Amino acid sequence: MEKARFSFKGIKNWPKVERPRERLLKHGEQYLTDSELLAILLRTGTRGESALDLARIILRKFVDFRGMIHRDYRSWREIKGVGDAKIAQIKAAIEIGKRLSLMESNGKIKIGNGGDVFNFLKSELRGAKKEKFLVVLLNSKNYVIRTIEVTDGSVSEVRPFIREVISRTLEYFADRLICVHNHPSGDPSPSPEDRALTNDLIRAADCVEVKLLDHVIIADDGYFSFNENGEMGNGQKRE
């Protein structure tokens, strides 16, 4: 636990050399603690607490930035002094970080099987409270071009739009794709709706001469691969 400095004083009253924003500009963001970075996003604290104090309270609740990813708005609003504007700022920053991470991996990661998909996206999907449906776009040699989120919500309730999956695939000139979604229940076993969706996706992809390599369901510490289980329409694995 980092030692509190100038607690219960507004940051604007601190010596300039101790203010998180000034420290970032002078020394670089890599030298700031998690709470100092978060304080810059928060900008202001509450009566009797600085933005840095509030940042420490948030980190005590969620442990780290990863712990903030899938928490719903009710959890955030339990923290005194954290309103919609602050929640939006923090969530936007986290999302930017996630997208940068995926962008940096584009063109460098090769997907060969369901295990590769699981390792690539497990941090994105494990712990999510709702189902998310992602599409991993690949080139002809199975290197990742881009990962996009099509929709969220239960597949049985909010079925991904087949047309959108195909249009986004063509938009990025992908030769192949893998569809991925999570099961918040912790059981990766496919439902009848999952199987029906997979069959529809196979037919749609074949119509535009794009190869759907797999549909992978991710849960806590495991996954189900339609391809590895011979359920990609013809009973044969797709390469």
SS (H, E, C) the chain: CCCCCCCCCCHHHCCHHHCHHHHHHHHCHHHCCHHHHHHHHHCCCECCECHHHHHHHHHHHHCCCHHHCCCCHHHHHCCCCCCHHHHHHHHHHHHHHHHHHHHHHCCCCECCCHHHHHHHHHHHHCCCCCCEEEEEEECCCCEEEEEEEEEECCCCCCCCCHHHHHHHHHHCCCCEEEEEEECCCCCCCCCHHHHHHHHHHHHHHHHCCCEEEEEEEEECCEEEECCCCCCCCCCCCCC
Q: Looking at the predicted structure, is the pLDDT value of residue 136 above 60?
A: yes
Say yes or no to pLDDT of 238 above 70: no
Q: What pLDDT shows up at residue 214?
A: 97
pTM of the predicted model over 0.95: no
pLDDT in tens, 175-210: 999 999 999 989 999 999 999 999 999 999 999 999
Give the model confidence (pLDDT) of 145-167 as tens digits: 889 888 765 565 546 678 889 98
**pLDDT at residue number 1:** 42
Assign 8 a pLDDT band (cuts: 50, 70, 90). Answer: very low
pLDDT at 224: 97
pLDDT in tens, 79-123: 998 999 999 999 898 888 877 766 665 557 899 999 999 999 988
pLDDT of residue 159: 62
Domain 109-225: give its CATH architecture.
3-Layer(aba) Sandwich (3.40)
